[in-house]
A and B are shown apart, each in its own frame.
Chain A
Amino acid sequence: MNAGNRDRVAAVSEPARNSIDARLVDELRGMLGEDGIVSRATELKVYECDGWTVEKSMPDVVLRPRNTAEVSAILKLLYQHGVAFVPRGAGTGLSGGCLPLAPVMICTSRMNRIVAIDLANRRVEVESGVVNLHVTNAVKADGFFYAPDPSSQMACTIGGNIAENSGGPHTLKYGVTTNHVLGAELVLSDGEVVQLGGPTEERCGYDLAGAMVGAEGTMGIVTRATLRLMREPEAHRTMLAVFDDCDAATRAVSAIIATGIIPGAIEMMDRLLIRAVEAAFHVGLPEDAGAVLIIELDGLAAGMDERARQVTELVTGAGAKEVRLARDEAERAGLWKARKRAFGAVGRLAPNYATQDGVVPRTRLPDILHVISEVSERYKLQIGNVFHAGDGNIHPIILYDERDPDQVRRTIEAGRDILRACVEMGGSLTGEHGIGVEKMGEMPLLFSPDDLLVMGELRRVFDPDERANPYKIIPMPGACVEVAAPRRQASL
C-alpha cells in the first residue's frame, strides 16, 4: 500500500487495513491464473484512481475474476484473512468511488457476457462487467433500449452503474439505474452469493435490490443483474437552442416543463464548453453563443411536429436567438456526440479537471449558475458548465493543474463551496456520480448524525465488518471538513 493510502486510514484502527502478504497473493494467483491477477507496480498505476483524479492510491493487487464462483472464492479467502477489497468496473466514476482504500481491488471487466435477452418480457440478464452501451446495442435492432445512458456509456459497466445509481441525459423522462434494475446477484464480503429481487415486477419481502443499488460497492460485489428494457419511441425531435446567456437558457427550461411537456432530455452547455467541444469535434456549435440547450422530444410520431413547434415557440419566447432542428439521424447523433464527449473536449483546455455533480430544484438553476461564476472569480479558476438542466443536475467542470498544489487546494474548496450552495438551495450533493470519497466530508450538510447512523446500520446488514469498499460515503466519526482537507492533499 502506498503512502497516501496509509495516511488516509491512519486515524482509524481497523484490522482489515493490514497490507496483503505475499503468501495470500500466491494463493490468489493459483486460484485465478496468471492472467487473472495484476501485481506489478507499473501495471497497477492504471488502478490508482477513477475520474476523480484529485486523490490517488495504488492497490497492492488487482484481481480479475471470470465468473461468480471465482468472485465468491476470492471473497471467502479474503474474509478468512481479514482483508478488505474495492470493487471496480471500468473506473469511469467521478467521485473516487473505486479509489483503492483497501489492499485488494476486484475488477469485473472480464465478466462481460450478456447472459439472456428476453424481448417478450423486456428483460435482459447481464454479467456486471458488461459495458452499458453494449446492452442497448444488443437489442436496438429489435426496437428496444436500456434507458440509463451516462456520458461514459461507451466504457462504463452495468456493475459500476448499479454501484453509483448512474443517470444520464435521458433519465429526465426514463429514470435512473435503480428504476431499471429488477434483480441482482450479489456476492457478500464473506463470499456468500445472494439473490436480490428477481425478474418479476413485485418484490417478495424487503426491497433488497433497491437498498443495494447506489450503495457504491459497500455491500458486496454485484456479479449479475436483471435489467428492464424500454421500447424505442416511434419518433424523436432533437433541437439545439442558442442563447446569449445562461439565464435565458435556464428560463427556457422552466418554460418547457411548466407546460407539462416532459422531453426525453434537456441538456445545457455554457460558452466555455461550447468552445471546447467545437474546437475538439467541429459539430457546428455557435462559438459566439453564451449557452445552448439540446432538447430532445420523443414519443409518438403523431403530433410530434406540433410539439416541436410549441417548444420552439417557448424557447424563443424565453430568449433563444436561434433554434436548429436536427434534420436527420446523423445530425441528431452529432448533437449527442458533442454532448456526451464534452468532458473529453475539456481535456484540451487544462491538464486536469474535476467534475462536480450537485443538484438544485430546477427553478434555482439561475441562482446556482451565479454562485458558480462567483466561485470561479473568487478562486481564480476557470469553471465550465455542461449539465442535465431538466433535472437541475449541474456538472461544473473546474479546470486545474495538479502540479500546482495551490490550484489543487483551490479546486477542492471551490467544489465544496458550490455543493454547499446546492444544499442551501434545497438540493443535493450528488445527482448521479455518488459520494465516494470526494463528498464524504459534506454528508453532514445533508444528513443528521441519526440519519448517518441508520445508513451505516443498513450497510452493515450486508457487510457487517465493512470489508467491501471501506471508508466511502459515510464520514468517519470525528472526521469533518477541516480534518479531511489536509488528508486529501497529503494523498496526492
Chain B
Amino acid sequence: MSALDASQTAEQIGALIGADRVRAAASESERTIAGVVVEPASADEIAELVRKCETEHITLAPFGAARTLAEIRHSQVDVAVSLARMNRVVAYEPDDMTVIAEAGHTLEALNGHLAERGQCLPADPPFPNLTTLGSLIAEAKAGPIRLSEGTVRDLLIGIRFVGHGGRIVHGGGQVVKNVAGYDLMKVMTGSFGTLGIITEATFKVRPAPTNYALALTSFMNTGQAFEAAGGLSNAIPLIHLEIISPGFDAKFGRSGRFLMLAGFGGSGAEVQYLRTRIAEVLGSGAETELLEGADAESAYEWLRDIDVRGAALVAQMAVLPAELGRCLDQCGSEFRAHAGSGVAQMFLGGEPSAEAIYREAERWREAAHGAQGHLRILAASPGSRDDLNFFDEPPAGTLNLMGRMKAAFDPAGIFNPGCFVGGL
C-alpha cells in the first residue's frame, strides 16, 4: 500500500491525467475495493497511471476483476481503475467474423452490435449487462454454453494491456488462426488483474444460434439426473446441458426436484430431429417439457443469471465431468452444474457461523480433490473470510512458476496484489 492517504492519492493522479478522471468510491461495494476510483479514457492515460503507481507504491486493480474478488478479498487496493470511458467497438469485420473492442465495453452491448449481422460472441456468464470484456477475460468467466463454444480463452485472438513500466503491450492479432509470438492472450485470461490492465481485446465471433429450444426434465436424485445427462451428451450435440438442485428448481417455479436443462438448436430439420432423439435417449419414463421461442429464451436467461447474492458461501468446483454428479451428491448442497463440462457452482444459504462455513468449504474441497479437481471460493460472508482458503494451492513447482510469472509481469507488486492463488 501507498504511504499517501486517499485524498493525496486522488490529488496526485488528478494532476497527472486530469481531475475529471478521478473520483471517490461512490458505494459500499466500491469502497470494499478501493477508496479512489480512476476513470482513464485511453491506454496512454493508464500507462501514465501505472508508472506513477509503481513509483509511489500505489496498488491498483481493474474494477471488473476486483469486483468479483470483492466477495472474497481481505483488503482494499489504493486505486480502482474503471474502464467505463473505454467502451468503444474499435473494428468489426462481419465477413471475417472478428471484432476488436475496448475492455470497458459490456458483453451485452457487444452482442447487441453483433446481432445486427446475425453474429454473436458466444460467452454467457451471468449478467452480461454488467460484464465488461475486460472482466470477462481477466476472470475467465463462462456460462452454460461453454459446453458447445468453449470459454473465452478459445475465442480471444488478440489482446492489448498496460503492463509494468506503463508498457502498452499487444499479443496475437486480428486473424482467426495465428501462432506468431508467445500467447499473451492465455497469460492474461483468468489472471484477475494481477499482471496488468487489459485495455482492448480481439475476438473471433460465431453465427448466432437459430431455433433455440430447451428440454426440461425432472429427476428424483442427483444420480439419476447425471446419468441421464451423460447419456444425452454422448448421443447428440447440445448447446448446453445444465442441472440445478431442488432449491433452484423451486425458485424456477417448479416442484423442487433435480432439473436437467438441455439446450439445443439449428435448422428446422435439425431441431425436429434433436427433439426426437432426446425423447428416445431419455426413454418413456422421463417427464420432459419442451420450451421454444420466447419461453425458451427467458428460461435460458434465468438459468444464466442464477443469482446467489446474499449466500453465505459460494464456490465453484471443477472435476472430471463423469465424476461431477457423485461429487455433488457427496456435498449435498444446492448447486447449478454445467454437467457436460465438469464444473458446478455450489451454494450455502442462511446465516451459518464462520466455523460452519469453513467446515463446509473444506468438505466441498475434499470432494473436488477426490475427483482430480479443485475448488475456488467465489463469495464468502465477510465474517468468515479470515481462515478460508479461496483458491486451491497448485503443486509447489507449479506455484513457483506462477510466482515467477507474477514477479516478471509485476515487479513492483502493484497490480491487485495478494488476492490470487498462493497469495499472489
Contacts and interface: CB of A to CB of B under 8 A. Distances in A.
B106 to A, nearest CB: 23
Interface stretch (B18-26, B255-263, B371-379): B371-379
B376 to A, nearest CB: 7
Interface string B385-424: 0000001101101111110110011000000000011101
A262 B206 CA distance: 9
Contacts of A447: 170, 180-181
A202 B316 contact: yes
A430 B175 CA distance: 10
A460 B409 CA distance: 11
A254 interface: yes
Contact of B98 (A361, A458, A460): A361
Interface string B344-382: 000000000000000000000000000011101000000
B397 A450 contact: no
B109 interface: no
Interface residues of A, number: 86
B175 A360 contact: yes
Contact of B96 (A208, A306, A361): A361
A460 B177 CA distance: 25
Interface string B107-134: 0000000000010000000000000000
B167 A205 contact: no
A14 B75 CA distance: 45
Given A205-B421, A426-B174, A457-B408, A198 B372 contact: yes
Interface stretch (B182-190, B240-248, B303-311, B329-337): B182-190
Interface in A232-271: 233, 254, 257-258, 260-262
A11 interface: no
A213 interface: yes
Interface residues of B, number: 83
Nearest to A450: B167
B163 to A, nearest CB: 6
Given A204-B421, A302-B272, A427-B173, A443 B181 contact: yes
A118 to B, nearest CB: 8
B177 A359 contact: yes
A391 B96 CA distance: 9
B95 interface: yes
Contact of B374 (A171, A202, A299): A202
Contacts of B170: 447-448, 451
B169 interface: yes
A116 B297 CA distance: 40
A164 B167 contact: no
Contacts of A194: 395, 397-398, 400-401
Interface in A158-204: 164-165, 167, 171, 175-176, 178-179, 192-196, 198-204
B275 to A, nearest CB: 10
Q: Which 7 residue pairs across A and B have the least CB separation, nearest first?
A: A210-B186, A302-B273, A260-B207, A303-B269, A202-B318, A205-B421, A120-B322
30 contacts: A122-B321, A171-B177, A175-B150, A178-B183, A195-B398, A196-B398, A201-B151, A201-B341, A201-B343, A202-B140, A205-B399, A205-B421, A208-B401, A210-B189, A211-B186, A257-B97, A260-B207, A300-B237, A302-B272, A303-B266, A359-B173, A361-B175, A391-B177, A392-B176, A426-B173, A431-B179, A432-B177, A446-B180, A454-B184, A461-B404
Given A303-B267, A454-B167, 14 more contacts: A165-B183, A192-B397, A194-B398, A199-B372, A200-B320, A201-B321, A202-B343, A203-B190, A210-B153, A262-B207, A303-B269, A361-B98, A455-B181, A461-B405
